[in-house]
Amino acid sequence: MHLAEISKRALHFFESRDHTVVPSAPLIADDPTLLLINAGMAPFKRYFLGEATAPFPRATSVQKCVRTVDIEEVGKTSRHGSFFQMFGNFSFGDYFKERAIPLAWEFMTTPTTDGGLGLAEDRLWVTVYQDDPEAEHIWRKLVGVPASRIQRLGMADNFWSMGVPGPCGPCSEICYDRGPEFGQDGGPAANDERYLEIWNLVFMQNTRGEGPAKEGYPILGGLPARNIDTGFGVERMAALLQDVPTIFDIDTTRQILALAAELSGTTYGKSVNTDVSLRVVADHILASTMLIGDGVTPANEGRGYVLRRILRRAVRMMRLLGTDDPVVGELFTKTIDVMGSTYAELIEDRARIHSLGEAEEGAFAKTLKAGTAIFDVAASKAAESRILPGDKAFQLHDTYGFPIDLTVEMAADAGLSVDREGFALRMQEQRARAKADARRRKSGGRGDIDVYRELLAAAPTEFTGYTELESQARVQGVIRDGERVSSASAGEIVEVVLDRTPLYAEGGGQESDAGRITADDVELEVLDVEKIDRKLWVHRVRVVAGEIAEGRNVVARVDSEWRTGARQAHSATHIVHAALRQILGPTALQSGSLNRPGYLRLDFAWQRPLSSETLSEIEEVANRAVRQDFPVGIEYMPLPHARELGALALFGETYDEDVRVVEIGGDWSRELCGGTHVERTAQVGALTFIGESSVGSGLRRLEAHVGLDALRFLASERAMAVKVADLLHVPTAEISDRVSGIIDELRTARKELDTLRAEQRAHLATVLAGHAVTVNGVRVVAEQVAGPSATTELRDLAVQTKAVLEGSPAVVVLAALGSDRPIVVAAVNQQARRLDVAASELVQAAVGALGGRGGGKRDLAQGGGGDARAIPAALESVLAMVARAATQ
């Protein structure tokens, strides 16, 4: 049974049993505690936490997930993958164990001809939490599983929580006996490879306190509503039903793996190491395609780093398998072909996915060269100890993406071992930092979430800001340092929740409104406005005067000048986005934005810098749209209808079933947006670009001023042009020609100067060669020179001096003062190296006297120190070392 068929059957089965089918959410989590969706229940988390009321009592979904905690295990085990799909059926205070358990069993054991999976009942085992007799009773009495195939396990295995205080509850797992060829008998408690977990039922009925993540934490009591979170990994189920040994051998992933084998000229199934590498490639390419498809772009932090790490790891594995040519394009094509029938958006967005992936592969090819150069330097410094330090191995891993296995292999080729313990220590430190960051994210940067939960339950905030700038309101709550208080006095900074507000909360790239909240004797300055669960407006305020108390009637006012500027900037962002796509094509999709009064910033997918001509063309299209005074219309409609109309959605944003569509000039620009906008485009005023830059591989950023700020910027530019023209004594129209002439003159003068310096250096090299002394048959120049002040200049001089001395064993060691600190360079020709004279060892001797550090290769090395007075002693030590080496 194909993977897509398994998903289709599961959704149909539960839909026919009154579950609402919910499409997969994007991998970009609408949750400050998560970088990426990593579990099937994640999109429903706020319903389980009680932060929002679920719009349906029962739901079912197949959710895309990415999990990289066990990335080093991918390919080595039969079931670890970074991308996977989770089928789930959920109950939000509706049914509980007595319904969830029979439903799972029914779907798995119903014959395939009747819409089930057709698994043999006598191959299925069950585990329950050791203190959950209720679940065991249901399995035995309602389902009919023999007691001999039910096992009780402890909290670590069969009790679920999110790892922090909050909802928790016992679990029950269904396991499939794959047979004696997979290990000893005895049930899941004895062997989880043979008895493979294929379904997990979570009975969310308790709340937990502080304590360890897995077990040993206190159970504080019961939840007001009991929930069900249950389901299975679709890939794992497919491997079982297709009777293949691993999730990499199922009908989808195996096609990607086969292409990787073909491109690398390898064969799957003949070598353990090769098989692991091919599995890693298939898994990581699949995960990368899905991440880019959901709007993630490669970056050095956050979810972008997750993508960069796994995509580069796939490319690196292909290099190790023997391919030097680009491979991402072909592998992405295969992945889109394989997954496109389930996720049609991959096909629609094929061009952008390819563009970003291939750009990242090209960037990594350059990084790979840089990392190799870093390794070479580190290896030369480790030549004496024969051990590559753990911190260098970690630097190669963390900065350049070298896996430790690759570093170990390269070190072995250089005759070195790697300090694995030092590497492991730094990895442990990094994981500790990551865990601390995860704990910080889990708090959401706020105090007790129960404060907001109470206010949400009371009533969501009514946002009035689309139609008015001033609203009568009532204070629903005052929050200080995460705790609800009755009042706050002048000078305090607190959070205030109102029942109604015209103040826009930050979102969709638009900064929150500035404004005031007042009463007869109270004045609050609004510092920021945020939304909780997209329904509760939280105003961060400074109490300027009086005392604000819960229940107080107030007036909330938006700063009208601020709102005017914000509307101009937000509408201008839509205009620039449309102009970009008109000039560059449909793949130039917005991937992020920021707009505030007078300024906009727009990030978009593109591989190369925009020329000044292209920028001018985009700017002109945008300003023509402003001059044409297009109407700006707002419509509310179901999300599917908006997509049919071609409305663009911003990657990473989450939308309700009914969405707000902003149209500019009809279909000239049509986007989903919750921001505030002008009524007609002429109200935007002037628009001028102030910058275009790279913000990551395959991602560009445009910045612009809008309205009065644009006019001020242009006036400032004009004043600067006039000043430059006065300095150059030319009209402003001739500035460019005059500056070009000056640059040509400088370039010519620089070439003449370089030629003169080269002649001087050649002459000095000849003079220095004439100072050579013979030490045991080796011509040695060991002198301090006054000319060069940079290491590169000194190195060139040493190499030229060595060239003059060719024909006999020669050593050149030169010292100079560079930026008030001594530098030293050693160059040794081939004849001297045969006498066991090494430049790296000579530099080490010299910098030892200088109190510094150095390194390099046997023919050329360099270093520096801190004590310039020791230069004569350093040069003497070089002569002594040459004398010793040449006599051995």
Which among 309, 263, 481 is positioned nearest to 403, based on CA atoms? 309
How many other C-beta atoms are found inside a 10 Å radius of the C-beta of residue 453? 18
Measured CA distances, 530 to 159, 464, 511, 789 (Å)? 35, 15, 10, 56
Q: How far is CA 769 from the centre of its chain?
A: 56
CA distance 813 to 801: 10
CA atoms within 13 A on the CB side of 849: 22
| Residues in CB range of 681: below 8 A, 6 or more apart | 571, 575, 625, 626, 628, 629, 630, 632, 664, 665
Amino acid (1-letter code) at residue 642: A
Which among 513, 538, 496, 470 is positioned nearest to 675, based on CA atoms? 513
CA distance 863 to 132: 69
The answer to whether the CB of 797 falls within 8 A of the CB of 788 is yes
CA distance 152 to 167: 22
CA distance 134 to 132: 5
Tokens of 451: 């404060």
Measured CA distances, 198 to 105, 169, 249, 626, 846 (Å)? 11, 19, 17, 58, 66
Which among 187, 388, 292 is positioned nearest to 591, based on CA atoms? 292
Tokens of 121: 């009942």
By the 10 Å C-beta count (0-12 exposed, 13-18 middle, 19+ buried), 534 is classed as: middle
Tokens of 441: 């994210």
CA distance 871 to 864: 11
CA distance 782 to 705: 61
Q: Is 570 annotated as a binding residue?
A: yes
Would you put residue 205 in left (φ > 0), alpha (ψ -120 to 50) or beta? alpha
CA distance 574 to 581: 11
The answer to whether the CB of 245 falls within 8 A of the CB of 275 is no
By the 10 Å C-beta count (0-12 exposed, 13-18 middle, 19+ buried), 742 is classed as: exposed
Tokens of 349: 């967005």
Q: How far is CA 469 from the centre of its chain?
A: 38
Q: DSSP string spanning 798-825? A: HHHHHHHTTTS-EEEEEEEEETTEEEEE
DSSP code, position 54? -
For residue 532, the cross-strand partners are 536
Positive or negative, the CA dihedral 363, 368, 374, 376 is: negative
Tokens of 534: 């997209």
SS3 (DSSP) at 162: coil
| Residues in CB range of 387: below 8 A, 6 or more apart | 416, 417, 418, 419
Query: Furthest-apart CA pair in the chain: how many Å?
Result: 102
Q: Is 673 annotated as a binding residue?
A: yes
Q: At what angle do helices 328-339 and 272-293 cross, to 10 degrees?
A: 70
Phi, psi of 155 (to 5 degrees): -60, -40
For residue 516, the cross-strand partners are 525, 557
CA distance 286 to 304: 16
Q: Annotated binding site for Zn(2+), which residues?
A: 570, 574, 673, 677
Q: Annotated binding site, which residues?
A: 570, 574, 673, 677
